Amino acid sequence: MQNNIVIIDYGMGNLRSVQKKLNRISTDCTISADPEVIATADKLILPGVGHFANGVKNLKKSGIWDVLNERVKNGQTPILGICLGMQLMANSSEEGNEEGLGWFDAEVKKFSVSDSIRYKVPHMGWNTAVPQKKSPLTDGLDDAFYYFVHSYHMISHNPEDILTSTSYDYEFTSAVSKGHIFGVQFHPEKSHEAGEQLLRNFVNYNPQNAL
């Protein structure tokens, strides 16, 4: 199985830390903003930190938006969205008026906590992601701890898409999956051994051998 992995650069940060983590697990990868390079990838990683609407605009302005839809929706290229990258896979977000990629029937909402002293927003720090179904992405990672930094979270309208859930005043969807499309709200590149294992699982993912 080929593994030409491209980390998508659309001006929303967080790229080098993902690359370093992949290099740490002996995986070569390329950071690129070039739609032609992205179109040749065997696997894609869509990281990101920041504003949902700005992310959508940057993807469209750079020409990456159409390539993503072509490669992922039509070409069945495996992709992992991280933090904002996962949120962009939803239909929409409260953070701006732009429509998302719509790969998941979901929307992104800001945390609405009952106790703002106990539950600070953004949700920042270590928390568990409890698997809700089997997936090659989370193989061997039951109830693992990951590092989170986010003020918005995804609400999935299709329970079958929910890969993990996390509690922060209330339960929210912290990872999603649908076939070859994966998204995680947490940062595996900052999550030590659990993050390394999750990225290794994605690198080794073969749709033909999926659980």
Catalytic sites, residue numbers: 83, 187, 189
Q: Give, as one character, the DSSP assignment of residue 25.
A: T
Q: How far is CA 146 from CA 158, 160, 197, 205, 210, in A?
A: 24, 22, 11, 20, 23
CA distance linking residue 184 with residue 195, whole number of Å: 11
CA distance linking residue 60 with residue 67, whole number of Å: 10
CA distance linking residue 192 with residue 113, whole number of Å: 28
User: Crossing angle for the helix pair 15-24 and 192-204, nearest 10 degrees?
Assistant: 80
Taking the mean position of all CA atoms in its chain, how far away is CA 206?
Answer: 18
For tokens 């896979």, what's the residue? 89
